[in-house]
Amino acid sequence: MAYPTVSSANGFIAINELNGLPYAGATRQIPIPNAYPTSIFNGDLVELAGGVINITGMTIATTTSARAGQIGVFVGCSYTSPSTGQKLFAQYYPASTAANDAVAYVVDDPSAVFKAVVVAQPSTESNTATTIGYMSQAFVGTNAYAVTGTAGSTTTGNSKMAVSADGPTNGSGNVRVTAGLPFRVVGIVPETAVTVTGTGSSASTTITLTAAVTGLQAGMQVICPAASAGGGAGNYNYVTNVNSTTVTVANTLTAAAGSTFTFVGYPEVLVKWNQGYHSYQFATGV
């Protein structure tokens, strides 16, 4: 993707430690089974199974409870090519590679902070959602699903895993989740923010736009300087539902007809493992 335009998910990218120290690139080498039948891409979540690496078994449907064995993020591998006999260091592991010495490089630090792309969810959450979605400052401190159902790219070797929250009632987007999920949102990435605008009026928690706004989704922050309540940038009010020209926001926003509304969405967020979701935080082994 052409940064800073976020066009697709690209997995989990280690940024730093939760304490703010830079991520130093530390990894752990863990074997991949000979001829393991599933490709594993750079940025994919992986888990331990019988002492070896498998791609994660977490899905949207299973991430409301902890899954034993989650070990971290795959960032490459090495193996002896069965066709050339040469040692390879690769961005991704190709499915069914017949190599007895295949080793995954895994970021297994449970305190690591990762950058991840947000995908938009419909009203019923999908593990294969791929449309770019948005969160905002209001999501910091809430929880996120791991969206794991889309395979990575064999061209780039990069993952297409992402994060999301719950879907809205109408359309698509993200709505805050406080219930237990594998990841905690600890920050937003301002460099890739997306902004759209519209005009209309607002009373209580309903904005009535004069025309539908292309690109507007649940999850975006709403800013209306002309509002008499709830519209300032520092209010961190956000969109919870979009139904054509009727937009629902989280908190009361009062603005007269003809007011300009700016909607700002952040397609990338910073996340960390929630307590108990990483294998090193389990009291029992796998």
* DSSP assignments along 137-174, one per residue: GGGTTSEEEEE--S---TTT-B---EEE-B--SSSSB-
pLDDT score recorded for residue 65: 72
Specify the long-range contacts of residues 211-215, CB closer than 8 Å, at least 24 apart.
211/245, 212/244, 212/245, 213/263
Percentage of the chain lying above the pLDDT 70 cut: 99
219 inside domain: yes
126 inside domain: no
Which of 65, 84, 110 finishes a domain?
110
pLDDT tens sequence across 218-277: 999 999 999 998 899 999 999 999 999 999 999 999 999 999 999 999 999 999 999 989
What is the pLDDT confidence band of residue 212, given thresholds at 50, 70 and 90?
A: very high
116 inside domain: no
34 inside domain: yes
Q: What is the mean pLDDT of the segment spanning 55-72?
A: 87
45 inside domain: yes
**Which of 8-22, 56-70, 138-152, 225-239 is the least confident region?**
56-70
**What is the rounded distance in angstroms from the CA atom of residue 269 to the CA atom of residue 273?**
13
Task: Look at residue 61 and tell me whether its pLDDT is greater than 70.
Answer: yes
57 inside domain: yes
Task: Look at residue 35 and tell me whether its pLDDT is greater than 90.
Answer: yes
Which of 110, 141, 163 finishes a domain?
110
pLDDT score recorded for residue 1: 45
Closest C-alpha among 205, 202, 206, 248 to residue 228: 202
pLDDT score recorded for residue 266: 98
pTM of the model: 0.95
User: What mean pLDDT is reported for the chain?
Assistant: 95
What is the pLDDT confidence band of residue 3, given thresholds at 50, 70 and 90?
A: low
146 inside domain: no
Q: How many domains does the chain have?
A: 2
List the domain range (segments joined by +) for residue 69.
18-110
259 inside domain: yes
Which of 110, 134, 166 finishes a domain?
110
Q: What is the mean pLDDT of the segment spanning 131-158?
A: 98
